[in-house]
Amino acid sequence: MKDIQNLIEKLSPLERKIIPYLNEKIDNISSKSGLDKVSVIRALRFLENKGLLKINSREETIVDLGTNGIYYKKNHLPERKLLIALEQKEMGLDEARKISKLSENEFKVSLGILKSKALINLNSGKISLSANKEEIINKFLEEKFLDILPINVDKLEPEQKFALENLKKRKDIINIEKRSLFSFDLTEEGKSIAGKKIDLDLIEELTPEIISNWNRNKKFRKYDITAQTPRIYGGKKHFVNQSIEYAKNIWLELGFKEMEGEVVQSSFWNFDALFTAQDHPVREMHDTFFIKDVISKLPTGGIVERVKKAHEVGVLGSKGWQYKWDEEKAKKVVLRTHTTAVSAKTISNLKKEDLPAKFFSIGKVFRNETVDWKHGFEFYQTEGIVIDRNANFRHLLGYLRNFYSKMGFEKIKFVPSFFPYTEPSVEVQVYHPEKKQWIELGGAGMFRPELTIPLFGEHIPILAWGQGFDRIIMDYYKIADLREMYSNDIKILREKPFWIK
């Protein structure tokens, strides 16, 4: 008896409230205790942790009325309304729609359904019934089905399954959802306490008021320090933001300064300043998001004229692209397709006394891609430039190798490649030990004279790279589908570890 009394004094107010009704089913406990079902189940879980009962749960699939289903059950399905109208006589289609008071879409759907059930005749723009009342009743399975909802899918008869399949093709008439069903079994200790009315006035928490008005006759509720407690998830940054901060710190440690720029750029900075020809396929609508009805201003100070010359006739002995450069095309506004547009602006603002200089950025870029497991229409890119008269191609490879090794990649290789604005150019690849293959992460190279001369005024070595950052994140967090990175599923976010290499 002493053990039971000791147990009772540990029960929370929620648990004490349902103890008198533990011999009832959950719905009855809810109605008799005055608690909602969620609170009842929470109290039952507390009692389960104390060994007083065992909760049983199972899932069942329930078919219930959808938004349109609730309306149609009360006001008839559209096809029933049309049949009611046709009971009068044969009539034209327009007249039938007017009398039945159906929308154009509902009328078309009703015609198709009634025709498939062989309940109407359509002839020379006229519509009439072709079945008697008994045939109509026998063939209106969907109407009968709505009357029995909600129902467990496992309990459906063959005719009801047929009606369900027909209604699933129509918008919001039915709703199919999985529901969890709960029941419980009392343990021997639980049986000894079930049904008892517990009238205890215990102190639940210590407050300043209780201390100042102390009543020695009142007891504190006993706390079970061995009881299970809910897991607490501390606040933390989104794992994508953690990854970006980690990468930023790498560049800062290597002596780089961060450069920033707008995600909306003119075509001049996004393409032309980077020596991308105006007829290049990358500038077409299938690759780029253009901002409608917006025109940008071009920069002053002679940059536009120098870029135009580089495109039309070339610089420093090159031939350019040999076409007439169009200023209007350069004014078109786009969502930046790469962060290299930021690099171009940064170089154009540099003075000779600023050298040597190193800059990086990590930001979103946008491409008109079909979204799938490895492509998105927006993604992060990490960009870098080194402007130094003594820089060379080996320095470029060194910076990239240093960065990727700090990001946790052990095997790194460089493959010759081509980009419109760098020469020589390389593609950075890292080895994936699980997939046992090399994965391409981005391009790099040394800026061509056609870019450096218009932007900086003379040709000097500029190392540059633009690397896809989302693929690095996917590799670290073992994410198979790019879309998972931005699904913001709270369960997934809680379980993601901090970025530690």
- Percentage of the chain modeled with pLDDT above 70: 97
Structural domains of the chain in order of their starting residue, each with its CATH number: 2-52+187-220 (no CATH), 65-177 (1.10.10), 241-495 (3.30.930.10)
Q: How confident is the model at residue 451 (pLDDT cuts 50, 70, 90)?
A: very high
Residue-wise pLDDT tens digits, 290-319? 998 899 999 988 899 999 999 999 998 899
- Cβ-proximal residues to 351 (8 Å cutoff; 6+ apart), any chain: none
Give the chain's mean pLDDT: 86
The CA distance from 75 to 106, in Å, is: 14
Q: Pick from 38, 1, 40, 211: which is nearest to 9 by CA?
A: 1
Q: Pick from 460, 477, 465: which is nearest to 440 by CA?
A: 465
Sign of CA dihedral 475, 481, 482, 484: negative
The CA distance from 380 to 364, in Å, is: 4
pLDDT at residue number 251: 93
Contact by Cβ (8 Å): 381, 466: yes
Least-confidence region, from 92-96, 357-361, 384-388, 463-467: 92-96
Residue-wise pLDDT tens digits, 205-237? 778 887 888 777 777 777 767 766 777 877 788
Pairwise pLDDT comparison (89 vs 373), residue with the higher score: 89
pLDDT at residue number 69: 87
Least-confidence region, from 58-67, 120-129, 243-252, 333-342: 120-129
> End-to-end distance of the chain based on CA atoms, in angstroms?
58
pLDDT at residue number 500: 59
pLDDT at residue number 236: 81
The CA distance from 318 to 405, in Å, is: 37
pLDDT at residue number 1: 47
pLDDT at residue number 258: 94
Nearest 5°: CA angle at 490, between 178 and 35?
Answer: 55
Whether 2 shows a pLDDT value over 50: the answer reads no
Residue-wise pLDDT tens digits, 380-433? 999 999 999 999 999 999 999 999 888 888 889 999 998 888 999 999 988 877
Residue-wise pLDDT tens digits, 46-74? 899 888 999 998 888 999 998 888 988 88
Whether 501 shows a pLDDT value over 60: the answer reads no
The CA distance from 60 to 180, in Å, is: 7
Whether 38 shows a pLDDT value over 80: the answer reads yes
pLDDT at residue number 395: 95
Region 42-47: mean pLDDT is 90
SS (H, E, C) 379-412: EEEEEEEEECCCCCHHHHHHHHHHHHHHCCCCCE
Q: Tell me the C-alpha to C-alpha distance, in Å, between residue 122 and each of 87, 94, 117, 119, 138.
A: 15, 13, 13, 10, 21
H/E run at residue 28: helix 26-33
Residue-wise pLDDT tens digits, 239-285? 888 889 999 999 999 999 999 989 999 999 999 999 999 988 888 76
Can you tell me which residue has the tokens 């201390």?
Answer: 211
Instruction: Let me know how long the chain is.
Output: 501
pLDDT at residue number 490: 82
Least-confidence region, from 133-142, 265-274, 295-304, 349-358: 133-142
pLDDT at residue number 11: 84
Pairwise pLDDT comparison (269 vs 80), residue with the higher score: 269
Whether 129 shows a pLDDT value over 90: the answer reads no
